[in-house]
Structures are given as structure tokens and as C-alpha cells.
Structure 1
Amino acid sequence: MEQFIEFYFELGLKYKEMRSVLSLKHDFDVSERHLKRILRERGLTRRKNYTGLVDLVDFIRNQLQYSGQLHGYRWMYAKCRENGLRVRKEDVRLVIKELDPTGVSMRRARRLRRRNYFAKGPNFIWHLDSYDKLKPYGFCINGCIDGFSRKIIWLNAYTTSSDPKLIGGYYIEVVDRLTGCPRVVRGDLGTENGHVRDFQRFFHINHGNETLDSYLTGASTANQRIEYWWGFLRKECMAFWISLFGDLRDNGFFDGGFLDKGLLQFCCMGLVQDELDDTAKVWNAHNIRQSKNISNPSGRPSVMYGLPELYLTRNFLTSVDTESVQSCKNECTFRRPIPCDPDINELCNIIISESTLDPPRDPYQAVNLYMHLRDVIRALL
């Protein structure tokens, strides 16, 4: 039981939430007094043993070198917690204010517009869409978010987001992992969602008592859950990459052609995907504040998604049999392990091997590698 208590404590659950989870999920009935005693015996406390200020400053300074320069103090605090730093939110705010006063001033000038929204529970409705701001550079991002909990279901970068078989593959991978599908999927009118629409309706074909269509379409701009999250993704992550790639284009080092796109994909696709994974991980673990819309639950997306009983609702996942999933898998294509065109990938690996270069570990190393490969290959043409 102690290991569960430690896990949920590190996840950020409150005492009442931990007691509810232990009772509902693990059949442990623990009083709050006993729970506090266990935490105290294991040295677990939220207001002691803080990480040293030097370590906090070093972490934030490193984050500010890349897309972390876009973060506000609340999101930076969530990243600190996710990376094992025990810190005060106020300390994070003060450090960012000292290290990045320009960024603080720019964020303070912005305003957030809220719209009313309602979803019955986790897996009642998923919202999917593609993010095309990096598409001119060869990076096509597709994502899906749960409407109730706001948990990111998938967030993938690849060379295309226009292939319905590929988008169907993203969907079917999650359905296979969950052994079920949502009650409703909301997508836009694009042809790239055709396979998801067909799979979703196929899985619900035996649920004749359902009055709501299992796949809804509409304008992309009205798909508010995922559209809001794209704005968040740009603010906290993608604006850095847009600026980085834009500088290459503006300085004449990227012409939008087949070769330049392939080289940029080879050098940066893995780093972009890593950053997407990191952003989704931190988002799913961070705390969403209570809003004026009382229909919107507040809390951590992972907790809201996995423990709907705490919010007086249930999981709306519709079970799907293995045979049906396999039938749909046969109609899908999935991402290859290589990040770009196979010929460009092979050529780049040969050049890297001959030049004894190391794979890039950060965006600036990736840009340097791109410039080197571009010069070498253009000299051979």
C-alpha cells in the first residue's frame, strides 16, 4: 500500500483524492490521519526538503535556451515537478522574472478567451485535428484530446498528415491499447479523417440504441478543445521551432524543396517528437485550474481521465473485440522508423559515418548537422 501512496503523492493528489483512489482502485480504506502518518514515516512532505535554488536556476536557465523561453511560471513549475524538482511555485515565478524579464512582460500583455463546453466523462468524445504550422518545413503534426479530462490521447509528428490510412493508424493504435473506442469522435471535414470516421462507425454498428452519431464533423475552427490546445502548443513549444526554421528560410538556407525538407526531417524529426512527448507528458500531469464554466472539471488530466469516479461520472469507453481491431489494422499504414525519404536517410547516414559525426542532442546541434549535410550533398550534385 505504501508504494501506491508514494506514487499518488508524487502525482500531486490531495489527501482526500488519495484516500478515494486507494479505496476505489486498490480496496485500501485508510483514514486521513493514518495516511499522513505513512507519508511522514516515508519522509514525504510538500513543504520541506525543497530542491536547492542553484539547481532550480540551472534547470530554468537550461529550459530558457530552447522552447522553455515560451513558458509562463505555472507551466515551468509543472515541468520542474515532472523532472523531479521539489520547488515552490513562487520561487519559479521569481526566477523566471529575473532570468527572462522580456518574456514575462510579453506574456503579461496577453488575454485568454474562454468558451463554454461540456462532455459527460472520459472517452465520451475525442477531438482530433492536424497542426500545420510546421508543414512548410516537412513536419506534419496530428493530435487527439479527450473532451472531458483534456488528456492528450496521441500527439505525433511525421512527414504527412494528409494520408487517411496513417491517421487511421494513429487512432487504431490507441483503440488497440485501450481495447475500446470513444463514444464520439469529433473531426473536421478533411478527407484525411476518412478512415477514422469509418472505423468509429464500424465499432458502433452493433449499438443500435445510440441516438448520437459516433463521428461528428464540422469546421476545424469550431473544434474548440483541440483548437485551444494547438494555441497552447504553439505558445509553450512550437513557436521556438517555427522561429528556428524561419531563420533558416529567411537566411537562404531552406528553399522548401524536396532535398531541404528531407534533410531537415532527418536532423530534427526525432527532437520535435521528443518535445511533443515531453509537452504531452507535462500537460497530462499538470493541474488545470477551476474555470467559470461549472461544467468543466478541474484537476490533473491523467487523474480526471483515469479516475472519473472522483468527478461523479464514469468512463464512456466502448469495448471493441480484437478481431474487429485487427480488421481495421489491415486497412492502415503506420509510421516508419526512419524520419524522411529512404534515399535521403541512407545518404545522410553514410555522410555521418564517414565524417564521424554524432547524432544531434539539441535543436542547435540539429541545425548545424543540417547545414553540414546540405553543403556536402549540394557539392555532390
Structure 2
Amino acid sequence: MYAKCREHGLRVRKEDVRLLLKELDPRGVSRRLARRLRRRNYFSKGPNFIWHIDSYDKLKPYGICINGSIDGFSRKMIWLNAYTTSRDPKLIGGYYIEAVQRLGGCPRVVCGDLGTENGYVRGFQRFLVPIQPDCTIDSYLEGASTANQRIEYWWGFLRRECVEFWLTLFADLRDNGFFDGGFLDKGLLQFCCMGLIQDELDDTAQVWNTHTIGPSKNPNVPSGRPNVMFAVPELYGTRDFLSPIEDGEFQLCKNECIFRQTKPCDPDLYELCNIFMAESNLTLATDPYQAVNLYMHLREAIRACV
């Protein structure tokens, strides 16, 4: 309320706002003092009851797009992928189909935001897990990304453990005039760094899935290791909610998807980079600093030929 007053040009003290609220809305003040206004507690029945999916765009200005999914009960990462885009519905659908094939079934519910990139996942999920007559829950739930709390919280962990380093590294290139945000520079970063970033994403997900989550104030949220909670739900008094699928229906969905290619950037640029590397007897980088050196070498060589 104090902030709203300031936005409307009212120069007031916070203490005055507090006193006025106490006079104008004593019931609301007393309810807040009694802590009766509480956030709803998150609840998931068991592993594979609900998956949360979302895209992480902090590295998108540099041509690296990350998409992930997390199980709502166990907090196990289902997938965590880096690629040149996270806006193609067929690609995101491919991530979903790969996970379904690996696990042998679908979750009971998938939760995503309102972005168009989730369109194929929404269609696949509702096709493979139709609503039962005795069930009122849709198999795909969509809403604001801020309500997709499981995956939104996890992005903070990812930034601390992995992405912050790459953001700083790429920002240094940009600030020193070695990255202009154009097609060539984005493509070269993808060529030099995509594989390293995916390796770090895999390692980060592995660390998360094997670490111990401590007890929560929410009695509906179990504690323990995500891998254990996901694989042995009986220890927590629940079961696996994975929904089996028909092979024919699965193949229909799979045929509509596209999947990540082995070439991490534009195919023509990929071939050009390999030619320059062969001429200079260079190999792909094995660490971020080697990747930056390779990026600088290829950038200079290609610009000299243009």
C-alpha cells in the first residue's frame, strides 16, 4: 500500500499508512497479525503424478536455450536440455516424448505456462492420458509461470551451480567487443560451448537428483534423495502414478516431433568451422577457457574471409 501511494504521487510515511490501514481495515489487519493469510501448501500424490516443465532463457541472448522438467513429488529432474531454441513446440514435444519413452509411460498431469512452445506437449499429454469420467483433473494444466513453483524454484539452483559462470564469461566477451549478438557470434558460441554446457547441465541434474532434501514445514512434502523418492515411493506411503501408453499412440506422437541434432549450430556454419579447425590443426574444447580461445580464433578467421 505504501508503494502504491508513492506511485500515485502521495508523499507519506510507512507509519502513517500502517495507522490508516488499522483504522480503515481493522479486520484485515487482525487476520494478518494472526497469520491466517497463508500460502497454499504444495501437494503431489506421488512420483509421476505431475511434471512441471519450463524454459530458462538467461543464456538465450547468447544463443543457448535451456528447457527442463521436474517431478512434483520427488523433485527429480526428468530432463534438462540445452539447444539453439526453446520456442519450437515440436522440439519441446520431442523432449517430452524422449522422457516418456525412457520411463515407459506418461505422468498423470503435466503443468506448464501459457507459452506457445508447450503446444505439442499439451496435445500429446491430453491424447495419451485422456480425462477419465470419474476424474475432474485435466491431464495438462497451464497458468502463469510464477505458479509453476517447482521448476521456477529449481532455476535458482541452476543459476547458482552452473549458469552464473557462463553468464559472466559471455558478458565479458560482449563487454570487450567480441560478441555483437549477431548470427555469426551466436552460432560460434553454440559451436564452441553447447556441448560443454550440456555436460554441465547433466552433472548439475545428477548432483541434484542424488542430494538429500531436508524436511519441510509442509507435511505433504517428503524429504530425502530425489532418485530414491522417485524410484521407491513405497517408502513414503504412496505409489508410482506413471500412466502406461499404447505403442501405436506413442508412435503417432513421436512422428510429429523433431529432436536435437548432433550439429549444435547452423549446418553451414558448422561445416565452415570444421574446415578452419582442420586447417589450423585445432580440436574441440574440453573446458570453457579453451572454448573461448577457439571462439576467438574462429571469429577472427571467418571475419577475415568475409
TM bucket (normalised to shorter chain) is 0.7 to 0.9
Deviation at 1:116, TM superposition (A): 3.4
Higher relative contact order (CA 8 A, sep 6+): 2
In structure 1, distance between residues paired with 2:243 and 2:104: 8
1:292 aligned to which of 206, 209, 217? 217
Give the total of aligned pairs.
268
1:248: which partner in 2?
173
Q: Secondary structure at the match of 2:67?
A: strand
Q: Does 1:187 align with 2:187?
A: no
Q: Is the 8 A contact 1:288 1:300 kept in 2?
A: yes
| Letter in structure 1 aligned against 2:244 | S
| Letter in structure 2 aligned against 1:145 | I
| Letter in structure 2 aligned against 1:180 | G
2:94: which partner in 1?
169
In structure 2, distance between residues paired with 1:166 and 1:209: 33
1:47: which partner in 2?
none
1:139: which partner in 2?
64
The RMSD of aligned alpha carbons is 1.1
| Letter in structure 2 aligned against 1:347 | L
Q: Is the 8 A contact 1:142 1:155 kept in 2?
A: yes
Deviation at 1:208, TM superposition (A): 3.3
Deviation at 1:285, TM superposition (A): 0.7
1:96: which partner in 2?
none
2:153: which partner in 1?
228
In structure 1, distance between residues paired with 2:40 and 2:159: 19
> 1:251-262 counterparts in 2 under 5 A?
251-262=176-187
Q: Secondary structure at the match of 1:340?
A: coil
1:210: which partner in 2?
135
1:356: which partner in 2?
281
Residues 280-338 of structure 1, C-alpha deviation per residue, up to 9 Å, x if partnerless?
01111111111211211000000000000000000011110111110001110000111
Q: Does 1:345 align with 2:270?
A: yes
Q: Secondary structure at the match of 1:319?
A: coil
Q: Does 1:152 align with 2:107?
A: no
Residues 117-141 of structure 1, C-alpha deviation per residue, up to 9 Å, x if partnerless?
2111000000000000000000000
Residues 69-108 of structure 1, C-alpha deviation per residue, up to 9 Å, x if partnerless?
xxxxxxxxxxxxxxxxxxxxxxxxxxxxxxxxxxxxxxxx
Q: Is the 8 A contact 1:129 1:144 kept in 2?
A: yes
Q: Does 1:263 align with 2:188?
A: yes
2:244: which partner in 1?
319
Structure 1 consecutive aligned stretches of length 4 or more whose deviation exceeds 6 Å:
none
2:44: which partner in 1?
119
2:4: which partner in 1?
none
Q: Is the 8 A contact 1:179 1:321 kept in 2?
A: no
2:126 aligned to which of 181, 196, 201? 201
Runs of 5+ in structure 1 lacking a partner? 1-113
Q: Secondary structure at the match of 1:129?
A: strand
Q: Is the 8 A contact 2:130 2:139 kept in 1?
A: no
Q: Is the 8 A contact 2:131 2:138 kept in 1?
A: no
Q: Secondary structure at the match of 2:91?
A: helix
In structure 1, distance between residues paired with 2:133 and 2:282: 59
Q: Is the 8 A contact 1:117 1:296 kept in 2?
A: yes
1:335: which partner in 2?
260
> 1:50-89 counterparts in 2 under 5 A?
none
Runs of 5+ in structure 2 lacking a partner? 1-38
In structure 2, distance between residues paired with 1:213 and 1:364: 47
Q: Is the 8 A contact 2:131 2:137 kept in 1?
A: no
Residues 204-261 of structure 1, C-alpha deviation per residue, up to 9 Å, x if partnerless?
2273332100000110111100000001100111000011001101110000000000
In structure 1, distance between residues paired with 2:281 and 2:132: 59
Identity over aligned pairs, percent: 74
1:178: which partner in 2?
103
In structure 1, distance between residues paired with 2:199 and 2:94: 20
Instruction: Select between 292-301 and 206-215 the one with higher mean Cα deviation.
Output: 206-215
Residues 191-216 of structure 1, C-alpha deviation per residue, up to 9 Å, x if partnerless?
00000000000012273332100000
| Letter in structure 2 aligned against 1:257 | G
Deviation at 1:115, TM superposition (A): 7.8
In structure 2, distance between residues paired with 1:180 and 1:169: 14
Larger of the two Rg values belongs to structure: 2
| Letter in structure 2 aligned against 1:284 | N
Q: Is the 8 A contact 2:131 2:139 kept in 1?
A: no
Q: Secondary structure at the match of 1:278?
A: helix
1:365: which partner in 2?
290
In structure 1, distance between residues paired with 2:210 and 2:248: 33
Residues 156-185 of structure 1, C-alpha deviation per residue, up to 9 Å, x if partnerless?
000000000000000011111222100100
Q: Is the 8 A contact 2:51 2:109 kept in 1?
A: yes
